[in-house]
Amino acid sequence: MKCPNCGKAVGDHDTICPNCGKEMFIDTKLAEKIFKRSDDPLPDDGVSAKAAKKPKFNLKPDLHLIKLIAIAVVSLLIIVLAVVLIVQSVRAKGEKYARKASDFIGADFEIASKKLDFKIKQESGYKGLTAVIDYKYIAESDDEVRVDGVTYPEWAIIFNTDESDRITEVRYCDFKRIKGDIKGEKKEHNVNLDKFNPGTDKSSVEKELDMDYYSVSYTKDGEAYIYRYWYENDSGDEQPVVLTVYYNTEGKFKAYTPQLLFHQYM
């Protein structure tokens, strides 16, 4: 062991240091621990020097996590796009049928129906539709939708005929379009189309309207697009309006008629 005073080596049983004459510690193990030189190796207490160092933050991006997030975002966008395309295709299907049927306006219904590639019947499967729309024949979507507590087909094609059973009108109705709110789209004020003269291009009028129609009627005189919207009147009440815009056979603006709706007729 070593002397606690001078640090010189002494015998294990020496009580006085032969070098400096100082009295030795009785607890020799404690003395060795106190006077151990700084360059002596430290005892292994089970904690490595590497573990004793402060942890460093890993600023390197987790590429795997980023990849998973990217895949999730892309998957969500694909799902949303698919839903949008499905909704658009459903509407496009019904409107496509209606446009095709409009080519037979003036023709005998029996002859026309044989040339059309969709099912036409004499009565709707939905009492709600029959209660609000007059028709002679009808074609309907296989899917249905609830509008203000009433069940309708997602779309329907209405046929009206004259006394000789010749087609006078083909009307496309998109009930899914008004599912969200039977009042239609919100406008800041009443829609006024007086600034458009007869003969104005349809595109100019549609830009001014800036809303989707829910129904279109085809006759020998042209087309009529029907919209629903609402605005707050001077009393602060919600005023629903059904707006019909007429175009000639060349797609030129003819006229428009707004119909104010009141609660008893909603």
CATH number of 181-266: 3.10.450
pLDDT of amino acid 64? 76
DSSP state of 221: T
Residue given tokens 């009295």 in the structure block:
23
- Of the candidates 160, 142, 162, 137, the one whose C-alpha atom is nearest the C-alpha of residue 152 is 142
What pLDDT is attached to residue 97? 95
Q: C-alpha dihedral over 55, 59, 63, 67, to 10 degrees? A: 110
Instruction: Give the pairing type, strands 185-186 and 222-232.
Output: parallel
Task: Give the confidence band of 162 by pLDDT, cuts at 50, 70, 90.
Answer: very high
pLDDT reported for residue 266: 44
225-234, long-range: CB within 8 Å, 24+ apart, which pairs? 227/184, 227/185, 228/178, 228/182, 228/183, 228/184, 228/185, 229/183, 229/184, 229/185, 229/186, 229/187, 229/191, 230/183, 230/184, 230/185, 230/186, 230/187, 231/186, 231/187, 231/188, 231/189, 231/190
Determine if the pTM surpasses 0.85: no
For residues 33-40, average pLDDT: 54
Q: Which long-range contacts (CB under 8 A, 24 or more apart) does 102-106 make?
A: 102/170, 102/218, 104/167, 104/170, 105/167, 105/168, 105/169, 105/170, 105/218, 105/219, 105/220, 106/166, 106/167, 106/168, 106/220
According to DSSP, residue 265 is labeled G
- Amino acid letter at 248? N
Q: What is the pLDDT of residues 182-209, one digit of tens each?
A: 788 999 999 999 999 999 999 999 999 9
- Work out the pLDDT band at 50, boundaries 50, 70, 90: low
Residue 108 in tokens: 């005998």
Q: How far apart are CA 115 and CA 104, in angstroms?
A: 9
H-run or E-run covering 203: helix 202-209
Which of 91-105, 171-185, 222-236 is the least confident region? 171-185
Q: Is residue 153's pLDDT more than 80?
A: yes
- Measured from the Cβ of residue 15, the count of other Cβ atoms closer than 10 Å reads 10
Model confidence over 90-137: pLDDT tens digits? Answer: 457 899 999 999 999 999 999 999 999 899 999 999 998 998 899 999
Confidence of residue 264 (pLDDT cuts 50, 70, 90): very low
Q: What is the reported pLDDT for 144?
A: 93
pLDDT confidence tier of residue 5, bands split at 50, 70 and 90: confident
pLDDT, average across residues 235-243? 91
| Count of residues in the chain | 266
Say yes or no to pLDDT of 77 above 90: no
Domain range list for the chain: 1-39, 79-176, 181-266
56 — pLDDT class (breaks 50, 70, 90): low
φ/ψ of residue 129, rounded to 5:
-70, -45
Residues 60-70 pLDDT 10s: 667 777 877 88
User: pLDDT band at 236, cuts 50/70/90?
Assistant: confident
Q: Containing H/E element for 240? A: strand 238-247
